[in-house]
Amino acid sequence: MFPEENYKVHKNLLLVGEPGTGKTMLMQIFADYLKLTCNPNAFENLSVTQMMNYYKIHGHIDLYTYNENQSKGFKPNPFNICLNDIGLETENQKSYGTSLDSVIDEFLYARYEIFQQYGKKYHITSNLGIAEFKKRFGPRLVDRFKTFNVLPLCGESRRI
């Protein structure tokens, strides 16, 4: 549909835009549609807040990365996922001395590896712009963002 953008079907999605532009809602609708149509690309939606709370309780994020508790033998059982709202202020918190920023980084490194090894997708929504992504994540992690189709959602907040 957008040949000038050079989008690739096999890549993950990164939706960026101002708060209220509909990034999370679009991914929720997309996830529901894929589940209803039994599409193998169906994914679960996860908010950064939900993942941070899980980390605070369990001390790890395995459920959202390799999902080894649901594995059979030594084979992990990862699934497609969308992490919503990367860049929230909640990331700057600490849990027993661990910066929750590092939890997001751990998630992104693990999901990149899972995408490479198992073909399981990970999509992201964020209020951060491209320049802010580069500043927040550094060159090693930013290089892994080449596996994304970046879709900017422009406009003002659509919230009522």
Output the 3-class SS for the chain: CCHHHCCCCCCEEEEEECCCCCHHHHHHHHHHHHHHCCCCCCCEEEEHHHHHHHHHHHCCCHHHCCCHHHCECCECCCCCEEEEEECCHHHHCEECCEEHHHHHHHHHHHHHHHHHHHCCCEEEEECCCHHHHHHHHHHHHHHHHHHEEEEEECCCCCCC
pLDDT in tens, 101-134: 888 999 999 999 999 999 999 999 999 887 888 8
Query: Mean pLDDT across the chain, nearest whole number?
Result: 88
pLDDT in tens, 62-105: 999 999 888 777 789 999 999 999 986 555 566 566 677 888 99
State residue 113's pLDDT score.
96
Position 135 scores a pLDDT of 86
